[in-house]
Homo-oligomer: A and B are copies of this chain.
Amino acid sequence: MQSSIVLYSQAEENYLKCIYALEMEHGEEVSTNLIASKIKTKASSVTDMLKKLSAKNLVVYKKYQGVRLTERGRETALRVVRKHRLWECFLVQKLDFKWDEVHEIAEQLEHIESDLLIDKLDAFLRFPKTDPHGDPIPDKHGRMVISKTVRVLDMRIGSSGILTGVKDSSGPFLKYLNKKNLALGDKIKVIDIEPYDQSVHIETRTHRLVISNNVAENLYLRNVK
């Protein structure tokens, strides 16, 4: 991740970050509509932006064929992700925010422009490897530790794991977890998966509960046995 001293607008950075996330999730060409719904804008706006990003060599875009990040695009996206996640750490560790309160603020902070700042922040936080949601933080070269995690829904019945991440890190979902007394780092045992609706009975150190299929898809565990 070399710093070619080229700056991108906040809008451009947001598109790159979004495309990066969708590539991770789907592993293939990312479609215009997908981007539009994630960024909450219209497909026509996305098309405009994809042309611009393509002209700047940040994505490979062919009409009607979806889009992929170039190496340069991925580097830029990772730089934004790094900033976002470091700021989230700062907010939680230093300013005592709760993990479900930090996303919107980090969305703003991630666009602050100064390599020196972000490296100093990294050092101040003692080079954290994951953010408060359990997502890995890219280092200054764009490398990060991908710890093997499994969706609750994909666990074997009877097995246990440590809750290390969530797919949907929106406010409402995180608040739901709080209400249900589920927190990062909790040990969770999968008691049963209901074949009919794929809802999952789980057990924590302190209580048992049933989570919907939808929730079970969004929770990631690091397998412990």
Determine the chain B residues whose CB is within 8 A of the CB of A114 once the complex forms.
104-105, 108
Q: How far is A113 from B107 in the complex, measured between Cα atoms in Å?
A: 11
Determine the chain B residues whose CB is within 8 A of the CB of A117 once the complex forms.
91, 95, 105
A145 at the interface (CB under 8 A from B): no
Q: How far is A17 from B96 in the complex, measured between Cα atoms in Å?
A: 30
A42 at the interface (CB under 8 A from B): no
Determine the chain B residues whose CB is within 8 A of the CB of A104 once the complex forms.
114
Determine the chain B residues whose CB is within 8 A of the CB of A109 once the complex forms.
109, 112
Cβ-closest chain B residue relative to A120 = B95
Q: How far is A154 from B96 in the complex, measured between Cα atoms in Å?
A: 46
A121 at the interface (CB under 8 A from B): yes
Question: Would B95 and A121 count as touching, CB distance under 8 A?
Answer: yes
* B-contact bits for A68-99, CB 8 A (1 contact / 0 none): 00000000000000000000000100111100
Tell which of B105, B108, B120 touches A97, judged by Cβ atoms closer than 8 Å: B120
Q: How far is A108 from B124 in the complex, measured between Cα atoms in Å?
A: 20
Grouping DSSP codes into helix (H, G, I), strand (E, B) and loop, the A interface class, with mixed when no group exceeds half, is helix
Please give the distance in Å from A198's CB to the nearest CB on chain B.
38
* B-contact bits for A101-130, CB 8 A (1 contact / 0 none): 100110011001110110011001000000
Please give the distance in Å from A86's CB to the nearest CB on chain B.
12
Determine the chain B residues whose CB is within 8 A of the CB of A91 once the complex forms.
117
Please give the distance in Å from A28's CB to the nearest CB on chain B.
35
Cβ-closest chain B residue relative to A111 = B108
Question: Would B112 and A124 count as touching, CB distance under 8 A?
Answer: no
**What are 8 pairs between A and B in contact, CB < 8 Å?**
A91-B117, A101-B116, A108-B112, A108-B113, A108-B114, A109-B109, A109-B112, A112-B112
Interfacial residues, chain A to chain B (CB-CB below 8 A): 91, 94-97, 101, 104-105, 108-109, 112-114, 116-117, 120-121, 124
